[in-house]
Every structure is written in structure tokens, then in C-alpha cells.
Amino acid sequence: MSVKSITPREFLERKGEGWEVFLLDVRSETEESIVSLEGTDLRITHTSVPGRYEEIPNDVDIVVYCRTGGRSGAVVRYLVQSGWDINRVFNLEGGVHLWSDSVDSSIVKY
């Protein structure tokens, strides 16, 4: 199953136009302590999502991110397979690394 992706630039453009979105970080607590994207609504380690999915809203657009996009892509697939609307759940392409490269170099790459 292919997942919907959004680039950091597209994300910021849509946010600038008033897009209401739930930003989900699926990295570890240690990674979060290094850097986190502004506006993050919730952090759940990707392996914990199946046990905590009720904390993730299913009535809003969701953007999921991790370090480079792999774990967040897996979480997007899981959410869609679990009933979330495929048109409302997005993987942040390239994760924190692409965010740093394309929109904010002050975001630490690790």
C-alpha cells in the first residue's frame, strides 16, 4: 500500500494557508530530546502506536514524522489499515533530516 506523503515545504505552505493538522512524532524520547518540530501535538514511539492508537484523532488531518521518514511511513500504513482515512494521513517526507535541509537548517540532524 502506498501512503500519502507531504514535503516539509508543502507542509509549511499549507499551514500558512490555515491548515489545521495534528502533528505526530513517532521517534523515541531520546530523539525528541535532541530536536522536535514546532507544533508537535503528540509523541508516541512508533512501536507503541498499536497500543496507544486511541490517543491519535481520526477526524482531522494528521502528519506523522520521524528522523528520515521510514518509521513514520510504517505508522501511516498502520493507521490507514486500522481505519483512518487515507486522504487525511500523511508521512512527512524525509522527516527531520529533510526539514533541516529544505526549510530550517537550525533543526539538528543526528
Q: Answer whether residue 22 is part of any domain.
A: yes
Distance, first Cα to last Cα, the chain: 29
Tally of domains within the chain: 1
pLDDT tens, position by position, 41-87: 999 999 999 999 999 999 999 999 999 999 999 999 999 999 999 99
Q: Answer whether residue 110 is part of any domain.
A: no
pLDDT at 40: 98
Q: Could you tell me what percent of the chain has a pLDDT over 90?
A: 97
Q: Domain of 97?
A: 4-102
The pLDDT-based confidence of 98 (bands split at 50, 70, 90) is very high
With beta carbons less than 8 A apart as the criterion, state whether 86 and 92 touch. no
Nearest C-alpha neighbor of 49 from the set 73, 78, 29:
78
Q: Answer whether residue 107 is part of any domain.
A: no
With beta carbons less than 8 A apart as the criterion, state whether 63 and 23 touch. yes
CATH number of residue 55's parent domain: 3.40.250.10
Mean predicted lDDT score pLDDT of the chain: 97
Q: Answer whether residue 109 is part of any domain.
A: no
Tell me: pLDDT of 1 over 90. Answer: no
